[in-house]
Structure 1
Amino acid sequence: MAKFSIQGIESRDVVVIGSGTLGRRVVLVWASQGGSVRLVDSNEQAVKEALTWVEVNLPGRVKAVKGTEGKVTIESSTQKAIKNAWMVVECIPEIQKAKIDLLGQLDQWCPEDTIIAAISSSYNSADLVEKVTEKGRARVVNTHYFQPPELPPVDIMSSGSTNPAIIKLLVAS
């Protein structure tokens, strides 16, 4: 498998698509690491509620993990949000077709060195990549965030095609 590296990770965003219960918790995990996080959702009310929840809970999370408070912004356009992403985490509802479609779009739209993280407790990520190119499948990873967010943050699993260098990078993050 080819090497995988991400250029300028410290100046790039983590993008979370979906502002429901899980999406806002994923934003909280990454925002407590000091970087820039973009939250994408077309539901204005849901994204406002998620942002308020993150703002209330971020100081406690930062203290609990001895982190650094990052910057959280909201975006309604997925294509605009992902232009500067080093990682995109999909947190949309557990609808297999919707996840398949989104991962396929992300594969087309994201920079080639962007990690695409699927979150699903119902589907194996290998079953969600049918619209992702063969080359793109090497950057798809499955993640499982623990709840509540005060627990250690995330399990990282291969989709069956994931470049092992991605898993190493995420473990170190």
Structure 2
Amino acid sequence: MSGSYTYTFEDIQHRPVAVIGAGTLGRRIALMFATRGGTVRIFAPRAEQRAAAVQYVTETLPKVVADRGFGEAGSAAGAGSLEEALADAWLVIESVPEKLEIKIATWDQIDQAAPPDTIFGTNSSSYPSRLMAAGVRDKTRLCNVHFYMPPEVNAVDLMSDGQTDRGLLDTLLAVLPEFGVFPFEARKESTGFIFNRIWAAIKRESLAVVAEGVARPEDVDGMF
């Protein structure tokens, strides 16, 4: 089972995006995909989670569009089921809790419910997508699409599951900036992607210069 995952912005601008998970990051991801006039559907198990996420997007969206200077406010809607969320979606972003067993089960369900041409992205910051792909029949459609904290921090990590279609990755590299987020591809599997690995090294060296007596903790803090 394989679909075509190569799109232009014009191909997908009138199709919805599905976000699975309505926590702090899920709702912020939904916000960014609602900035080009389209629809974002948010699925979470509890109705109050969905409602809170939709309210956040609705209230925050006008300022994000105005501050950015391009785009137009679209809409967010809560979906009562995965099937409803995924109907005709060109992209689904999974943002459920960072527990591998939950992510594996979620992807099993998404794979059964999604249209054949939907791109699959996990927002996981800890796990490469290949670890949650057992139940995904077409592994060329799955990759890491890791957001930081939009709309304040708009970098996005992309990383293949080892089999991801090259056209799919090129599509995300080209299309995501239309939504005000900017992708950077890890060219091989890397825990922590790019930025988090560099930042971890900075933190290690910060501790080292304090331990060696080169600087006081407050001096290091003051520089960052």
TM-score by length of 1: 0.89
| Bigger mean CA offset, 16-25 vs 48-57 | 48-57
Q: 1:10 aligns with which of 13, 33, 38?
A: 13
Aligned residues: 171
Query: CA-to-partner distance for each residue in 1:84-106, whole Å, 9 max, x for gaps?
Result: 11111111111211111111222
C-alpha displacement of 1:73: 1.1
Give 1:141's aligned residue.
143
The CA RMSD over aligned residues, in Å, is 2.1
Matched, 1:171 2:134: no
| Bigger mean CA offset, 147-156 vs 121-130 | 147-156
Query: CA-to-partner distance for each residue in 1:112-145, whole Å, 9 max, x for gaps?
Result: 1100111111211111111112xx1100011111
Cα distance in 2 between the residues matched to 1:84 and 1:153: 26
C-alpha displacement of 1:5: 3.4
- What SS class does the counterpart of residue 56 from structure 1 fall into? helix
Cα distance in 1 between the residues matched to 2:117 and 2:150: 30
Cα distance in 1 between the residues matched to 2:39 and 2:171: 18
In structure 1, stretches of 5+ residues that fail to align are none
Q: Is the 8 A contact 1:64 1:150 kept in 2?
A: no
In structure 2, stretches of 5+ residues that fail to align are 176-224
- What SS class does the counterpart of residue 27 from structure 2 fall into? helix
Matched, 1:121 2:129: no
Cα distance in 2 between the residues matched to 1:114 and 1:73: 19
Larger radius of gyration: 2
Cα distance in 1 between the residues matched to 2:150 and 2:75: 21
Q: Is the 8 A contact 1:37 1:71 kept in 2?
A: yes
- What SS class does the counterpart of residue 154 from structure 1 fall into? strand
C-alpha displacement of 1:24: 0.3
Cα distance in 2 between the residues matched to 1:114 and 1:107: 10
Q: Is the 8 A contact 2:29 2:150 kept in 1?
A: no
C-alpha displacement of 1:41: 1.4
TM-score by length of 2: 0.70
